[in-house]
Amino acid sequence: MSVEVVQKVAAVTIIAGGIGGGYFALTGGSSGTLSGMSLASGRDLIKDWDTIESNYKNEKNTNLIEGIPKEASKLQDKIKKWCETKGNTYYLGPTDKTYRSYMLWCLKEIDLDTALIRQGLEWKDEGWDKKFEKNKTALQTLLNKGTNPKQEPADANKLRSWCEENKKGRYKYLGDDAEHKVRSYCYWSKEEWELANKPQQETPPSDSAIEPSALSSDSASR
């Protein structure tokens, strides 16, 4: 089996069963390439290569394209050629370095809110108390980071304010720390929303909950 076939099988498996399921359904599973994935999600290829070159030179080394250092000659041409070549690479998952570099350096920027809405998630004006309670331990640390220890503890209102500010940040790729936090703490999937608002069924009292005196008086009345 060729490397390309192995890549394609892996890509289809990951997309169909993982985070990219919406993309797989949208394309009918006909393609698992990075360019196909970006087009299906409404992402356009970058055209302003001057800006990309400038941003690339100021980026952290950990986010650079493998094999293309900041100091490379004809940097803009090399990034452009890399993007044109890697568009036909198959998506192998959110931790794949080629996927991350392609999302960062080959596509026009969009904010987190736009990207998550396109992926089928929803921003709700209500339900913040439920989001906060579900993630309370992590949010106490996140929302109180750098604040006065004597300040009032974090709550649903603080969470909403944090989300309204951070959803405007840049969407980089699936699994990015900012993307993960905003996705988890600020947005709802349809299934998650339905589960959070599912009516609680009343549990009938068990026999052990009945007072012994009540049982005695009932037997005596017979």
- How much is the average pLDDT of 167-192? 96
Q: How confident is the model at residue 17 (pLDDT cuts 50, 70, 90)?
A: very low
For the stretch 25-74, pLDDT in tens is 444 343 589 999 998 888 999 999 999 999 999 998 889 999 999 999 99
**pLDDT of 19 over the 80 cut:** no
Q: At residue 4, does pLDDT exceed 90?
A: no
- Write down the pLDDT at residue 198: 86
Token couple for 85 = 């070549």
Which of these ranges, 6-20, 42-56, 129-143, 190-204, has the smallest mean pLDDT?
Answer: 6-20
| Residue predicted with more confidence, 19 or 63 | 63
In angstroms, the CA 28 to CA 14 distance is 14
**What CA–CA distance (Å, rounded) separates 153 from 171?**
29
Q: What is the reported pLDDT for 128? A: 96
Residue 111: phi and psi, rounded to 5, are -85, 170
On average, the pLDDT of the chain sits at 82
Tokens of 144: 């109180």
pTM: 0.74
- The pLDDT of residue 204: 62
Instruction: Give the DSSP letter string of 179-218.
Output: HHHHHHHH-B-HHHHHHHTPPPPPPPPPGGGS-HHHHHHH
**Average pLDDT, integer, range 1-21:** 42
N-to-C CA span, the chain:
81
Helix, strand or coil, per DSSP, at residue 107: strand
Q: Is the pLDDT of residue 205 over 70?
A: no
Question: Looking at the predicted structure, is the pLDDT value of residue 195 above 80?
Answer: yes
Would you tell me the crossing angle of helices 156-166 and 136-143 to the nearest 10 degrees?
A: 60
Beta-strand ranges (E) seen in the chain are none
d(CA 178, CA 174): 10
